[in-house]
Every structure is written in structure tokens, then in C-alpha cells.
Amino acid sequence: MTKRLITSRRRLLQGTSAAAAAAALGAPAISYGQAEAIRIGHLTPRTGFLGPLGEFAVMAVDLAVDEINAAGGIMGRKLEALKEDSVNPQTASTKAERMIERDKVACIVGEISSASCLTIAQVAQRTKNLFINTGGNSDALRGSNCNRYMFHVESQNSMYVKTMGRQLLAENAVKGKRWYSLTADYAFGHDLLKVARRFMEQNGGQFAADELVPTDATDFSAFLLKIRAAKPDIVISNLAGNQITNFLKQYAEFGLTFPVAGFGFDTALAWAAGKGNFGGKWPVVWHHLIDTPGTKKFVADFTRRYRKPPENQAWGEYVSLKIIAQSMAEAKTIEPTKLIEHWEKGAKFDLLKTREGYFRASDHQLMHEMYTIAALDPAQVKNEWDLFSASPAVPGPGEPLEVIASTAEENSCKFEA
């Protein structure tokens, strides 16, 4: 036997022994890149009507990765984020598959479009990898389209509707009232309208009309003329992304005074509308004025780095990466099935709010507090960011977190065996 063959055989045996030892210690499979950095795939729209929100998401990912690595990484390994524009559902699916199969990412994080969430989730299920949804709201993703490999940090539409609905009920703005709603014409909007109608039927309200609005619409004048003629008791927004910004600006230009409320919102849209244009009452998953040590530090660090405060999409990405890092360290693995088991057993997480959160085992929705915000009178606005006042956390401290989520009867999830 030649010296070269002996050396090659010795190296093969050494590698086999090392692999066996790693398996005995419960180390992750080599296919997840155990000798290198732990890779996370981040997909989110950075162009189109959801692009402004996606940019906040990307900034938060970079901040979270740097913080995690500065603290020693995950199990002593560096965290690396591969970030791409998801563009649309088809592109999102293609990029997710490439990240998993070629780049060997440990999981996929991100997204805002509910339609793209669905296609990414299908890839995750097929490849048996994790997808953590940070922006898709559709109840169907937690119901008819749920799967065991998808988890949701973003709140479902039911949580937004029930959070805002509590406020509207307290203000006697539901029973016997006529609502005129505008709905984004894609998966998110259709699902949100379904949930909003259910809430109205349960609480004695009625729709004066509902209009489907194309996602690329920028001129709302035709809709605003119809609203003026209908004289509704309240105008309801089921819009998304910069649709909301354009609507609010034009609503102010038209001088309409009917109360406005929404069932889905991102604070970046208030900032884009600006003082004097931003109006109404809205539910949010998080906002930069929450008075907790975690939020104050996050806001300070983000603002120091980017010269503006984070908005709620940034919160979603930031806490998702912190959840992943904490969970991999606690479970001592990056293996998807082990992380799923860890989360389904009720692991708790600091979400920068007053209470810890956890993933509900039945549908993988993160249970956590939400808030409502109300636009300030322009005379009360002191800067370009603090355009609103905010409610205390919803639910209140004496209530279970699940009271604002969909029930099994409203939205049933059945995972495949």
C-alpha cells in the first residue's frame, strides 16, 4: 500500500471517528454547516408596495446578528444572515429553496406578504426546514395552510381585529354603526376582510360598502368620492403597505372628517404620511414608545445606528433572531425537529414587552401583547416620529394572552402527521 493511500485511509478513519463522536454528543448534522458559521436565510420584500417595511426588517436583522455575534455567537459559532429581496411569491419560493439546498441555511426568517409566506412555507415543509414568519398576517397561514415547520412571530389577523375591536367596542363604534371599508386585493386583505366581517356580525355592526383596492393603486380619489357620498359612521382600512400612506394623505387632502380606524398597521406608514396627514386609530404589534427596558435599549441602539427609531417590522425581525439564538443555545442544536419540539413545549421569550411570549403548540402562533395607537392632534406633535399616543398592552395583565387570538372553532389548524 502506498504512503498516499495509507494517509488517505487514516484521514478517512479520523473523520469517521469525529463524526461518530459528534453524533454521540448530540451535535447537529454536518449538512447544517457545523464546522462553519450558522447561516440564517432572510427573505422579505424590498421593492414594491411593501418595500419600505422590508428595509426596516433588513436593518433589524443586521443589528441583531451583530449583537448575537458580539455576545459570543450561538454555541460558540458565528451567526451569518443571507439576505435577499423576495419580490413576489414565485421568486420567494425559488430563493427559499436555493438558500436551503445550496447555502445550507439553518432556517428561513422574514417575509411580509401572506402569499409569499405560503410559498416559502411549502418549501420549508418539503425540505423539513424551519420558516419563521415575521410579517404575514393571514389567519389561513395558521389554519387551513398551517404546517409543522412554520412559526409566526407576526400576529394573525384575528389578533389585530380583536385588539382594535376592543377599542371600537369601548367607544360604541360597532353596534348599529355603518362601516365603509377599503381592502387590499390580495391574500392578506381578503383574509383580513373575512375576519373583520366575522367580528362585525358577532357585535351588531354592518358594512355600508366594501371596496377591493389593487395593490399598485396610488390614486384613491374615486374611493374617497364614494365615501363622501355614503356618509358612513366610520371608515375602516384593510389596506397594506404604502396603500395606507397614500390613502391617509389623500383622505386629509379631501378634508373628510368621518372617523378612520384600521385592522392592520405598521408605524412606518404613519411616519411616511407625516404630521397633519396621519390620522385615525390602529392596532400594532409593537411600537417604539413602549416603556420597558428591552424596548428602550432596542430603540436606542437602532436609532444610534440608523438615525431613526425602529418600527414594528424591525421588531419582528429583531426578536425572531433573538428567539432563534436563545432556542439553539437552550436546545444545544440547530436541528429543525429539535427546535420545533422545544417551542411546542412552551419555551418563553423576552419580547421587549411587559410579558414574556411563547409559541402556541396548536398553530405555532406567538402569543404576546399588542397595542392600539391613536393619531395626535398636529398641535401636540413634537417630532416626526412620535405622531401618536398608545394604549396599555392588550390583553391586560389579568387576562390570558390567548384571548385576542383566534379560537380553534374560528381557525382550525391540523398539522400533517
Please give the full DSSP string across 43-57, using - where no structure is assigned: EE--SGGGHHHHHHH
What are the phi and psi torsion angles at 10 (to 5°)?
-65, -40
Check whether residue 203 and residue 263 sit in a common domain.
yes
Bond before 397 cis per omega within 30 degrees: no
User: Would strands 206-213 and 281-284 be described as parallel, antiparallel, or unpaired?
Assistant: unpaired
Q: Are 149 and 124 in contact (CB under 8 A)?
A: yes
Q: Angle 109-64-149 (CA atoms, 0-180°, nearest 5)?
A: 20
Q: What pLDDT does residue 416 have?
A: 84
Please tell me the distance from the alpha carbon of residue 218 to that of residue 240, in angstroms, as a whole number: 12
The set of residues, in sequence order, having a beta carbon less than 8 Å from that of 191 and lying 6+ positions away, is 114, 137, 138, 139, 140, 157
Task: Tell me if 359 is assigned to some domain.
Answer: yes
Q: What pLDDT does residue 417 have?
A: 72
Please tell me the distance from the alpha carbon of residue 2 to that of residue 50, in angstroms, as a whole number: 63
Q: What pLDDT does residue 355 have?
A: 97
Task: Tell me if 14 is assigned to some domain.
Answer: no
Task: Tell me if 99 is assigned to some domain.
Answer: yes
Cell 454536518 belongs to 30
Check whether residue 66 and residue 117 sit in a common domain.
yes
* Predicted model pTM: 0.90
Task: Tell me if 339 is assigned to some domain.
Answer: yes
Task: Tell me if 61 is assigned to some domain.
Answer: yes
The helix/strand/coil state of 41 is strand
Report the chain's C-alpha Rg in angstroms.
Answer: 23
Check whether residue 277 and residue 311 sit in a common domain.
no
Q: What pLDDT does residue 94 have?
A: 98
Check whether residue 65 and residue 135 sit in a common domain.
yes
Check whether residue 351 and residue 381 sit in a common domain.
no
In terms of Cα–Cα distance, which of 151, 170, 95 is closest to 361? Answer: 151
Q: Are 137 and 194 in contact (CB under 8 A)?
A: no
CATH of the domain at 197: 3.40.50.2300
Task: Tell me if 4 is assigned to some domain.
Answer: no
Grouped pLDDT means (10 residues each) for the chain, 417 residues: 41 40 38 70 95 96 98 97 97 98 97 96 97 97 97 98 96 94 94 94 92 96 97 96 95 96 95 96 98 98 98 97 98 97 98 98 98 97 96 96 96 90
Q: Are 74 and 325 in contact (CB under 8 A)?
A: yes
Please tell me the distance from the alpha carbon of residue 282 to that of residue 175, in angstroms, as a whole number: 19
Check whether residue 38 and residue 137 sit in a common domain.
yes
Check whether residue 218 and residue 106 sit in a common domain.
no
Q: How many domains does the chain have?
A: 2
User: Would strands 388-390 and 371-375 be described as parallel, antiparallel, or unpaired?
Assistant: antiparallel
Joined grid coordinates for residue 214: 389593487
Query: Is the CA virtual torsion 286, 289, 292, 295 positive or negative?
Result: positive
* Cα dihedral 298/103/28/127 (nearest 10): 100
Sequential DSSP letters for 329-349: HHHT---HHHHHHHHHTT--B
Q: Angle 38-120-319 (CA atoms, 0-180°, nearest 5)?
A: 50
Residue 361 belongs to domain spanning: 31-155+291-367
Task: Tell me if 17 is assigned to some domain.
Answer: no
Task: Tell me if 12 is assigned to some domain.
Answer: no
Beta strands (DSSP E) in 229-291 are 234-238, 260-262, 281-284
Q: Are 137 and 312 in contact (CB under 8 A)?
A: no
Q: Are 189 and 238 in contact (CB under 8 A)?
A: yes
Check whether residue 125 and residue 183 sit in a common domain.
no
The set of residues, in sequence order, having a beta carbon less than 8 Å from that of 303 and lying 6+ positions away, is 309, 310
Check whether residue 168 and residue 103 sit in a common domain.
no
Q: Are 112 and 57 in contact (CB under 8 A)?
A: yes
What are the phi and psi torsion angles at 354 (to 5°)?
-85, -15
Q: Are 146 and 116 in contact (CB under 8 A)?
A: no
User: Would strands 130-133 and 107-110 be described as parallel, antiparallel, or unpaired?
Assistant: parallel
Check whether residue 140 and residue 224 sit in a common domain.
no
Check whether residue 376 and residue 313 sit in a common domain.
no
Check whether residue 171 and residue 252 sit in a common domain.
yes
Beta strands (DSSP E) in 128-226 are 130-133, 150-152, 178-184, 206-213
Q: What pLDDT does residue 17 have?
A: 40
In terms of Cα–Cα distance, which of 214, 215, 35 is closest to 112? Answer: 215
Element (H, E) at 247: helix 242-254
